[in-house]
Amino acid sequence: MAWISVVTPTYNRPAPLARALTSLTAQEIDADFQVELIVVDNSADSNARDAVTLAAKVSPFPIIYVAETRPGVAHARNAGVAAARGRWVAFLDDDEEADPRWLAALVRIALATGAAAVFGPIEALAEGGREIAAFASYFERRILRPDGADITDLAAYLGTNNSLFDRAACLVGPQPFDPSLNSSGGEDSLVLQKLALSGKQFNFSAQASVVEWVPEPRLTWAYVKKRKFLSGQIRVFVQRMARPRAYGAPVWWMAIGLAQVVIFGVATVVVAPLGGDRRERMAAQLFGGLGKIFWASRFRPALYGKGLVS
């Protein structure tokens, strides 16, 4: 019987966590697999414990509560991996809700393809019934490829939210996620870049769908621009961290960033009289380009820990 460990790091979001756990305890998985759910509480006051206790009362799977009081997304992910017993380690974020066949769909593709890691699609919806409208694309993962497709070439655009890893092939050592990226994020992008460079294969599971519920404070163009700026930075600095002595890839991404700044800078000015979402979309792309140019650590905003916007 093969073990699957599902890791959910959480930070000061007990209500979304409860929803995520409800979706995880409802997973429909073949009897050939043993599932465990691991919640890593990264809060200072253990505010996720009550949600875990309630979920454990009705869960068909064991739920392991891990208190990781050292702040940081990398610390939380590392603690979850350390507690995991599974051959496979899946990640579901605390603001996501998984389809009942989510886990089964990820494992099916892993077995069929021999992939080191499998990723599923993400649909974005707004909390509180608000229409997400123009903001949806900044929180979604849409991959227009068939079920089971090789997506290793998309490594730079993937993350651990909605993913499954072959633990022995991918998550080795005491700290697979780099703690130096605790505040900015990008710790998962760095892992994926290193895996891709080492020849590991990533595949797509079209049926492993999750919903990401976006809170109100994130549904602003100011937040999107900050997020795009950091995403641009991550594109570059993970290349440098993965290959410290190789300068070609960072320079290539910086060149792309410069082109973005020129093209979308002009576009932002051109559409400025129109106002509204069109101008803001152009400006968001401009910020993504700026992030690729100003990628050094002193320019990085904090989107996690104390800098979390939610």
C-alpha 265/C-alpha 242 separation (Å) is 30
Q: What is the dihedral of CA 211, 215, 217, 219, to 10 degrees?
A: 40
pLDDT in tens, 81-137: 999 999 999 999 999 999 999 999 999 999 999 999 999 999 999 998 889 989 999
What pLDDT does 303 receive?
Answer: 61
Residue listed under structure tokens 């990398």: 74
> Considering the chain, what percentage of its residues have pLDDT values greater than 70?
97
Q: What is the dihedral of CA 243, 245, 248, 253, to 10 degrees?
A: 50
C-alpha 292 chain-centroid distance? 19
Q: Name the fold adopted by 2-218.
A: Spore Coat Polysaccharide Biosynthesis Protein SpsA; Chain A (3.90.550)
What is the number of alpha carbons within 13 Å of residue 182 lying toward its C-beta?
16
Confidence of residue 309 (pLDDT cuts 50, 70, 90): very low
Confidence of residue 166 (pLDDT cuts 50, 70, 90): very high
Residue listed under structure tokens 């009289």: 273
Contact predicate 162/103, CB 8 Å: no
Confidence of residue 297 (pLDDT cuts 50, 70, 90): confident
C-alpha 228/C-alpha 205 separation (Å) is 26
Where in the sequence of the chain do the CATH 3.90.550.10 domains occur? 2-218
